[in-house]
Structure 1
Amino acid sequence: MTWLKRLRRPRGPAGVDPDARLAPVRTAIDEVAGRGRPALDRLVDQLADLDAVGDDATALAALELLGGRPRVVSRLDEHARRTSWYSPHHSTVLDRLPERLDAGAAGPIAMALASTHRDGRIRERAVTAILDRPGPELMPFLVLRTGDWVGQVRNRARAGLALLLADDPNGYLPATVPTALVVQFWRRGGFAYTQALAALLTAPTEVRQALAGSAGRHLRRFVFDTALTQRWLHLDELVAAAESEGDVRIRARAAEAACREAVWTRRIGVLQRLAGSRRADVRVLALTGLVRTGHDAEVAGYLDDPAPLVRAVARDAARRLGTDLLAYYLGAVADPVPAIGAIAGLAEMGSDTAVPLLRPLLAHPSASVRARAVWALRQLEAVDVEGMVPLLRDPSPAVVRETTAALRPFHRRVPPELGWRLLADPRTELRRAGYRLLRDRSTAVRLRAGLLLAMDPYPELARRGRADVTGLVRATNLPARRRALVPELLVTAAEHADLTELARRAAGTLGADTTGLLSGWLAGAVPTQRSGT
């Protein structure tokens, strides 16, 4: 039985759900993306704790999670050398790694962590252990060592990576490429990328096709870019990728290559096919190709397209044909059910003659027409505040969203009590609208609205409220030299009592740090006779 197969046999405590053991690691990885040293410390501790359990299958699963976030792996490597190994708070498991390496008793996490050690001799032994018992989950750490500043570590890692990629590109490329792309421009960091590229270039066709269908975004882009450079893809394959690819970068590059080849070879049918794509980025490229081949009349038929760039290309073609664009859009919007693109196109013309046609559309039976009419009036700076306020309770979330955006610059003309009523509405989109209308007002109003939103049952709104309250509170605690604008809290005695009660209720969701700063801020605020609202 190979070492890899042996690792995948769970050896942990019976009856323990592996997903439950992975949950703290997954949380720690997510925290590292937006936080600093404490989050990295927690990640090291979670990995060390998981290694101590002795379940190699779960350990490999944790390393696989980590390998999917190559920048986190890079930060962990840097952090481990600078902090973990000489911090008095690091796990005692880390202290035993060298002797475990020497005894051959190091598991996958132990080998990965040992490869980040500040001592180059221990890193070299960790690389040797990884190469003696390789696995895809350990490849991100091996890639980092191929750029190590110590020659012995670097050379051993490079030789091992080159052999692994040459022997089994299908097994090791998916785990190698994401980290190789991160480090390729670092000093001594280009070796892994070069080896990955060489392995792909020499891999059999069936292996390349399997890698192209991988679920990993970084790998699929790497394979596609290489295929495009090497001209492995035929026109029909480029067209298929432009029509069906879900990754926007691959789709755009495939469409660009397909349209370029279609223009060179005068394959108008290909351009016409892609011009009918449901993806706006593909349509733009196809229409640009049709323009270059002299098909302006066909391109001008897209004046009503929902996408702004497509309409811009179509207008340019229509102008060359002598079309009166304003007259065209005025006629299109006068239809009983005007196209969404026609409404937007009329607004883009910037003519005041459009306003009388657009305002009746605010009462149109179609929600999409109402929403686009609000957007168009906002673009033309023709917002009728009193006329649009009723649309804040429109049945369509899209209309509510566009109306809120249109009214925000005029929030002082919107009654404050309307914002509070919306913030207490059962509909999620109305609570969001009420908050957006209130957050442009005084500090006291923003704080009260943020506290209410932080306790919202909808997680996205609650996150927004917590973030805004935290930002307000932290701004009051910055050193004087860093305070661009200190929030001034003007409240009456009743408002102060209300904010204090809301802060108490929201303490559980705000966290101890924010709650402590907020309590200090409120304690230092002196109630006045004049309201801050």
Structure 2
Amino acid sequence: MRVAVDDAAGAGRWEALNHLVGVLLEVDAAGDEVMAGSALMLVAGAAGLVVRLDRHARQAPWYGPSQESALWRVGARFSVASSGPVAMALASMHGDGRIRERAVAAMVGRPCPEVMPFLVLRAGDWVKPVRDRARAGLALLLADDPGRYLPAVLPMALRLDARLRGGFAVIQVQAALLSSPAEVWRGLLGSGCRRQRRFVFDIVVAQGWLRLPDYVTCAETDSDVGIRVRAAEAACREAVWTRRHDVLYRLARSVRAEVRVVALTGLVRVGQDSDVAAYLDDDAPLVRAVARDAARRIGIDARAHYRTAVSAGEPALGVIVGLAEVGSAADTPLLRPLLSYPQAKVRAQAVRGLRLLDAVVAQEMLPLLWDPSPAVVREVTTALRPLTGALPRGLPWELLADGRVELRRAGYRLLRGHGVDVQLRAALMLTLDPDPRLAERGKADVTCLARDGARTTWRRTPRPQLSVTAAQHDELVALAAQAVLALGEDTSRMLTTWLADTRPDT
């Protein structure tokens, strides 16, 4: 069952969806209510799979050995008195509106959380009798037992919210949340995807159901950055109004930069500029900006502070970039010695600082391309990209063939922006890379180039011009042949056609 769900959710092709329907029918025929519920939970748990199954019920391929959806066999199965929740769910997606209406009536009469996503889908049905019956049942079930049905309804309601008739379910979810006990919305706030949790959090905040300790806990521990920021804003706003400076200082020590920014802004509003100015060396750019503004008001020269701190024995990382943010080209002599600093993080920040000051010298940066730290290699690559004309011509290709992953990535980045032939050759080489992420990047770029090259004449943008010699063309053809399995059938066909059309005359 799980294999069928994964295949349908991953590929999403007609055959995979049809196979999943067949497996679900076998589950229903077994008559095991527990297994049926588990199967429906697997289907509902895969993002978008229920919606694709509903669309699959009204689609069929124009050719092939099987042109009829397995969902059309559900009508006969659903007429059997022993049909279970799987048959009800599948029948609710049938192409015949009368069967869908009977399935909705059965789901409302024998409700369970596993069929609720399918009921939500029918609440936006294009046939009015089906839609009205589903909406009435959904409203009653949510009103009677929100703790049981809300977790199953919420994901599908939010997914369908943008549809023409999809807003009804969201309104019912809001109404159920407003009338539900605290344990219900707290449970929803602590589980589900990011969009669901933000939806619930917005309602909870608007109703004022959380207190200051709750906001502080969310700001410090929640996994979602959006909720952390909203909670920090609410906590700091209340702390400013109630003069709870201890809360502001606590959040100012948070490990999350977005929380520290909000807390420092609150401290500024209560007049604690001297304490805020102590964050001039923070790692986060926004925190440093708030601290510099506070330092200016109390007469502290931020540039002089950074110059002194950089010259110290062990400069903080925020000091190096802070000097680049407020300094000028006259400050580059303070940063250049840090390029050979023992700590890799300091070397990386020194490279970034020189780039921000527009003081990068290609010959000075070249040795750092082979730095043992991937972070330094990444910063050096970013700094050298505008200066590729000053690099040795074969250097990017040498890096692309190196044994270190970060150097191959650097070589590919340095080749970006060159001619179409260079980009295609580099992308084909990267497609064969042993590192999965680099190979996926190369495949995506080859696919983009191949699609542009295979465009039809009605496209407005011109086709990319592949200007190569016969030898270079043969090399591209050979690389394309090696990458056939990695690229896939469709991309390989487009690429082969493009290369054939652009073959130079010999």
Give the TM-score of the pair, scaled to structure 1: 0.87
Distance in 1 separating the partners of 2:321 and 2:436: 33
Post-superposition Cα deviations, 1:391-420, rounded to whole Å, max 9, x if no partner, equal 111111111111111111122222232212
Contact 1:454 1:464 in 2 (8 A): yes
8 A contact 2:25–2:86 mirrored in 1: no
Structure 1: 5+ residue runs without aligned partners?
1-20, 33-38
Give the letter for the 1:165 counterpart. Answer: L
Cα shift at 1:370? 0.9
Superposed displacement of residue 31, structure 1:
4.1
5 Å-filtered alignment, 1:281-320, equals 281-320=258-297
- Secondary structure of 2:139's counterpart equals helix
- Mapped to 1, the partners of 2:124 and 2:239 lie a distance apart of 43
Matches within 5 A, 1:493-512: 493-512=470-489
Tell me which residue corresponds to 1:409. Answer: 386
Which residue, 254, 261, 271 being the options, matches 1:277?
254
What is the SS of the residue equivalent to 1:96? Answer: helix
Q: Within 5 A, what are the aligned runs for 1:131-210?
A: 131-184=108-161, 186-210=163-187
- Deviates further, 109-118 or 397-406: 109-118
Change (3 A) 1:261 1:87: farther
Shift of 1:236: 0.9
Show the counterpart of 1:129. 106
Residue 22 (str. 1) matches residue 2 (str. 2): yes
Give CA deviations for 1:209-258 in whole Å, capped at 9, x if unaligned.
33333244344333322222222211111111111111112111111110
Contact 1:263 1:293 in 2 (8 A): yes
154-163 or 324-333, larger mean C-alpha shift: 154-163
| Residues 219 and 259 in structure 2, CA contact (< 8 A), matched pair in contact too | yes
Task: Give the deviation of 1:160 after TM superposition.
Answer: 2.0
C-alpha distance in 2 between matches for 1:379 and 1:500: 41
Q: Distance in 1 between matches of 2:456 and 2:338?
A: 52
Alignment length, in residue pairs?
Answer: 501
Q: 1:489 to 1:334 in 2, by over 3 A?
A: same
- The structural deviation recorded for 1:105 is 5.4
Q: Deviations over 1:262-311 (max 9, x none)?
A: 01111111001000100011111101111111111111111111111111
Aligned counterpart for 2:352 among listed residues 365, 375, 400: 375
Q: Secondary structure at the residue paired with 1:51?
A: helix
Alpha-carbon distance between aligned partners in 2 of 1:409 and 1:51, rounded to the nearest angstrom = 56
**2:431 aligned partner:** 454
Aligned to 1:44: 17
Q: CA deviation at 1:85?
A: 10
Q: Does 1:394 align with 2:367?
A: no
Contact 1:385 1:413 in 2 (8 A): yes
Q: In 2, Cα distance between the equivalents of 1:457 and 1:193?
A: 46
Aligned equivalents of 2:97 and 2:62: distance in 1?
A: 15
Q: Does 1:351 align with 2:331?
A: no
The residue identity in structure 2 corresponding to 1:168 is D
Q: What is the percentage of aligned positions where both structures have the same residue?
A: 55
- Structure 1 equivalent of residue 26 of structure 2: 53
The residue identity in structure 2 corresponding to 1:191 is F
Change (3 A) 1:182 1:234: same
Q: Is the 8 A contact 2:8 2:20 kept in 1?
A: no
Contact 1:362 1:370 in 2 (8 A): yes
After superposition, the C-alpha distances for 1:166-211 in whole angstroms (9 at most, x for unaligned) are: 3433332111111212334544433322322333333333333333
Q: For the aligned residues, what is the CA RMSD?
A: 2.5
Name the amino acid aligned to 2:360: V
- Greater shift in the superposed pair: 220-229 or 446-455: 220-229
The yes-or-no answer on 1:339 pairing with 2:316 is yes
Change (3 A) 1:206 1:443: closer
TM-score, normalised via structure 2 length: 0.91
Question: Which of residues 491, 494, 504 is equivalent to 1:514?
Answer: 491
